[in-house]
Amino acid sequence: MNSSASSTTLQTEWTKDASQRIITESTTPKRRVRQLTTDNRTLEERLTAIRNVRFEDRHAADLEARVPAPAGAN
């Protein structure tokens, strides 16, 4: 094998390794972004549910306050 062929083979192997490394390094953040997006959506749904429950609790308390106490309950 002459030095030119050896150099080309080495460069091709390095390029394949570099490509694989770049793909791997690119995939990891993409997965992380997907996971964080999913986590964020879940937290937003939970927060919405909690807000709805708090609103319903306040609304129920307001309605209860408007209902007169039965006679003789004092």
pLDDT in tens, 3-32: 555 555 656 676 888 888 888 888 999 999
Q: DSSP for 14-63, please give it.
A: HHHHHHHHHHHHHHHHHHHHHHHHHHHHHHHHHHHHHHHHHHHHHHHHHH
How far is the C-alpha of 36 from the C-alpha of 49, rounded, in Å? 20
What pLDDT is stored for residue 7 in this prediction? 57
CA distance 37 to 17: 30
pLDDT digits (tens, 9 = 90+) for 22-70: 888 889 999 999 999 999 999 999 999 999 999 899 989 898 888 888 8
Check residue 3 and give its pLDDT: 55
* Residue 1 pLDDT greater than 70, yes or no: no
- Give the residue extent of every domain in the chain: 31-64
Give a three-class secondary structure readout of 34-45.
HHHHHHHHHHHH
